[in-house]
């Protein structure tokens, strides 16, 4: 009998702590599938953030480092500069990467470190209970903007893929979604490119995943997918923003 579907080697055997409908599981799996397909699991070091994915080190079956909030890309720089032969990725949410870690994010991209950043944008702080993120949409309700984000005082949500693409340093930067099988398949193609560019020593890569947070958005998973499509995708258009060619 032929096996057509199995757990990737790069995923550990452990039950999930993520909420029902959360997309971290899908994104973890896609990353793990790419590590398997490129055959780099045994020379990969992943960096977990602070946020919902803080426990990512339990899910990936490769060496993992837990970083301080926002510093995953600084930690990744240390690993990669010390051991350029390793495949290094960070896995970060919007608060980690675009708020407290904004300085580290811009500078790792600008230095063009040969690492891959997995950026999960769900427009809210999940683990701390639904506070406003730098990517929370105008009018979107969060516990620290109970009347909805007011752009006059909180500013407009930050489009990280666009922002980083403005840097002169070469890189591969794309924004993807995983709320339908078709989108997940396209996301995987982008991920493969990102890791391939790293392994070939070509450039920095960052994949921004649009993701849902049914728990803190106060929606069912299906409602959340619809909300993502109707509200996030118009503000955060999908696509490749920068390629090294």
Partner 1 sequence: MAKKLMKGCEAIAEAAIQAGCKLFFGYPITPQNEIPEYMAARLPQVGGTFVQAESELAASNMIYGAAAAGCRCMTSSSSPGISLMQEAISYMVGSELPAVIVNIMRPGPGLGGILPSQADYRQAVKGGGHGDYRVLVLCPASVQEAADLMADAFDLADTYRNPVMVLGDGLIGQMMEPVEFKQRPPAVLPPKDWAANGCKGRKPNIINSLYLVPEVCEQVNHRISARYKIWEEKERRCSGYNLDSKYDLLLVANGTVARVCQTAIDELKAEGHEVALFRPISLYPFPVPELRKAAARAKNVLVVELNMGQMRDDVDAFLQGKVPIHFYGRQGGMMAAPEEVIEAAKKILAGRSN
How far is 227 from 242, CA to CA, in rounded Å?
27
Residue 98 is a binding residue for partner 1 (CB under 8 A): no
Retrieve residue 11's tokens: 């995923």
- In whole angstroms, what is the distance from residue 15 CA to residue 179 CA? 21
Query: Which range in 77-85, 127-135, 151-159, 180-188 contacts partner 1 by CB under 8 A?
Result: 77-85
β-strands 171-177, 239-242 pairing? antiparallel
219 binds partner 1 (CB under 8 A): no
Q: If binding means CB under 8 A, how many residues of this protein chain bind partner 1? A: 35
With 0-12 CB in 10 A as exposed, 13-18 as middle and 19+ as buried, what is 156?
exposed
d(CA 161, CA 228): 17
Q: Is the dihedral of CA 130, 134, 140, 145 positive or negative?
A: positive
The piece of 103-111, 200-208, 215-223, 236-244 that touches partner 1 (CB under 8 A) is: 103-111
The answer to whether 188 and 34 are in contact (CB under 8 A) is yes
The only residue of 18, 19, 37, 57 in contact with partner 1, by rule CB under 8 A:
57
Nearer to partner 1, 24 or 71 (CB): 71
The stretch near partner 1 (CB under 8 A) out of 76-84, 138-146, 206-214, 237-245 is 76-84
Q: Is 47 in the site for partner 1 (CB under 8 A)?
A: yes
Shortest distance, position 87 Cβ to partner 1, whole Å: 8
Distance CA 37, CA 9 (A): 10
Least separation in angstroms between CB 64 and partner 1: 5
Instruction: Considering the complex, state which of residue 66 and residue 240 has its C-beta at the smaller distance from partner 1.
Output: 66
Window of 24-32, 51-59, 189-197, 200-208 that interacts with partner 1 by CB under 8 A: 51-59
Instruction: Find all residues with CB under 8 Å of 20, minimum gap 6, and list them.
Output: 214, 221
- Selected from 29, 71, 114, 188, the binder of partner 1 by CB under 8 A is 71
Instruction: Out of 63, 162, 229, 240, point to the residue binding partner 1 (CB under 8 A).
Output: 63
* Shortest separation between residue 84's beta carbon and partner 1, angstroms: 9
Half-sphere exposure (CA, 13 Å, Cβ side) for 109? Answer: 27
Q: Is the dihedral of CA 89, 238, 190, 8 positive or negative?
A: positive
Site residues for partner 1 per CB under 8 A: 12, 41-45, 47, 54-55, 57, 60-68, 71, 74-79, 81-83, 86, 103-104, 106-107, 111
């Amino acid at each position: 009998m032929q096996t057509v579907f199995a757990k990737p080697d790069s995923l550990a055997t452990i039950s999930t702590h993520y909420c029902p409908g959360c997309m971290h599981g899908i994104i973890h799996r896609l990353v793990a599938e790419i590590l398997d397909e490129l055959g780099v699991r045994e020379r990969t070091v992943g960096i977990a953030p602070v946020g919902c994915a803080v426990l990512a080190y339990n899910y990936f079956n490769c060496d993992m480092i837990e970083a301080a909030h926002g510093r995953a890309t600084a930690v990744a720089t240390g690993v990669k500069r010390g051991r350029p032969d390793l495949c290094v990725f960070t896995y970060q949410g919007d608060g980690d990467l675009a708020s407290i870690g904004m300085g580290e994010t811009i500078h790792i991209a600008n230095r063009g470190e040969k690492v891959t950043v997995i950026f999960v944008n769900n427009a809210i702080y999940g683990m701390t209970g639904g506070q406003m993120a730098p990517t929370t949409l105008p009018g979107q309700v969060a516990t620290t903007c109970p009347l909805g984000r007011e752009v006059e005082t909180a500013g407009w949500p930050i489009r990280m893929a666009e922002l980083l693409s403005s840097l002169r340093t070469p890189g591969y930067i794309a924004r993807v979604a995983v709320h339908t099988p078709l989108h997940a398949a396209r996301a995987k193609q982008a991920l493969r490119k990102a890791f391939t560019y790293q392994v070939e020593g070509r450039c920095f890569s960052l994949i921004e995943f649009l993701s849902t947070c049914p728990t803190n958005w106060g929606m069912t998973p299906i409602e959340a997918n619809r909300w993502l499509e109707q509200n996030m995708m118009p503000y955060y258009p999908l696509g490749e923003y920068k390629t090294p060619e």
